[in-house]
Amino acid sequence: MTDHKHLKRLVRRRSARTGESYTTARRHVLAARRDLPNTVRHQPSDLARRLLPTGTDLSEPMVCGLGGGIGFMAAVFDYRGMPPILTIVAQHHPAPWTPTVLRRLGIPFTEAHSTAPASALKALRSSLAEGRPVYCTVSAARLPWRSVPVPVDADPYGIVVTGEDDDGFAVHDAGPHRLPVDGFLDAWSAHRKGRHHRIVVTGAPAPAVALEDAVTAAVAETAAHLTGPVLGNAFDANFGFAGMTRLAAQLRDTRTRTGFARRFAAPDAFAFVLRRVHECLEEQYTAPAATRPIYADFLDEAAAVSGRLRLAEAAAAFRTSAAAWSAMSATAREPDGSEPAAVFAVLAELLDEARAVEEAAVDLLR
């Protein structure tokens, strides 16, 4: 309550100083409080935010929500010579993040690929010479500062190129980095499906696109994908609440080959799958605590922008579910020497707890 009064005081002070409405002033105060220097909570949203035109002042939580915010997808993939690999995507999926944010805000951009490295570099340098940062899809496995669980080039990863000098390209990936031209080109060429993919913003937002409308559309899509079909095919069983229910059943299954107790019975496979649970809920394809806390912050801002107070109620619910996701991550990181079946049963119970809270929260989003 004290913090709430303090927030109101800050908002009124800014409103009196700038002449902004209370809603606009509140959004700017919230953005300033959460946008700490050099602090990135959600890498895809941070990248998208760095492409926004000057004057488009949005917080990282707002950009995260506009990109779709939270989601759920879980699947196990098999690679030769490795234990089965569990992947959980706790952010909205599979729509590409940056184009979704830009389209929702009515910001014009170009998106292109090049088969030849020379033409790709020429286009990149032309954009940089115009002062335009460039979003590039690369292979994370080729970035020297990234540690990936499986060194494959099929998994796309975004970075933003901000400039070039004699030492190579300046890039941003949750912080500033430097890549020599050859090293950058190696990473940019390795993801063959999206070879030399790039996105460049070309203008200001369309005047007709209101932030309130963008927020409303984003919230509606997030709710729809948690509760209903995403792809329109059989793989939808892995998405949303249906995917959570399915994963919980697999975690509890001690009899069949697809049950986790048998599939990950070997010590190395058991250790690896627990590591994956932690990584996927805290670090990869997510923001910490399965993206739920930053999405709750978005909903608080969205409530102020849209006047839909139920969104603030939903924010509180997602902060509650975030505790269950964090408990899952902590259990996976420190299983306390328990047998695999017992650890998986605890994970299933926490997953059910998170799903129950979020099913009620989604009713508030509609």
**Higher-confidence residue: 129 or 11?**
129
Q: What is the pLDDT of residues 173-203, one digit of tens each?
A: 999 999 999 999 999 999 877 789 999 999 9
The percentage of the chain sitting over the pLDDT mark of 90, rounded to a whole number, equals 77
Distance separating alpha carbons of residues 169 and 182, to the nearest angstrom: 10
Please say if the pLDDT value at position 65 is more than 60. Answer: yes
Please say if the pLDDT value at position 171 is more than 80. Answer: yes
According to DSSP, residue 239 is labeled B
Please say if the pLDDT value at position 222 is more than 50. Answer: yes
Residue (of 204, 353, 216, 354) closest to 290 by Cα position: 354
Q: Which residues contact 212 (CB under 8 A, 6 or more apart)?
A: 305, 306
Q: Which residue's structure tokens are 């190579």?
A: 168
Confidence of residue 219 (pLDDT cuts 50, 70, 90): very high
**Domains of the chain in sequence order:** 59-97+208-365 (no CATH), 109-201 (3.90.70.10)
- Give the pLDDT of residue 294: 98
**What's the mean pLDDT when you consider all of the chain?**
90
Q: What is the pLDDT of residues 68-118, one digit of tens each?
A: 999 999 999 988 878 899 999 999 999 999 999 999 999 999 999 998 999
Q: What is the mean pLDDT of residues 13-39?
A: 57
Q: What is the pLDDT of residues 308-352, one digit of tens each?
A: 999 999 999 999 999 999 999 999 999 888 899 999 999 999 999
| CB count in 10 Å sphere of residue 132 | 17
Confidence of residue 304 (pLDDT cuts 50, 70, 90): very high
C-beta separation of 67 from 97 below 8 A: yes
Q: Please say whether the dihedral angle defined by the alpha carbons of residues 46, 52, 54 and 58, taken in this order, is positive or negative.
A: negative
Three state DSSP letters for 312-344: HHHHHHHHHHHHHHHHHHHHHHCCCCCCHHHHH
C-beta separation of 142 from 187 below 8 A: yes
Please say if the pLDDT value at position 37 is more than 80. Answer: no
- Give the pLDDT of residue 83: 83
- Give the pLDDT of residue 178: 95
Q: pTM of whole model > 0.85?
A: yes
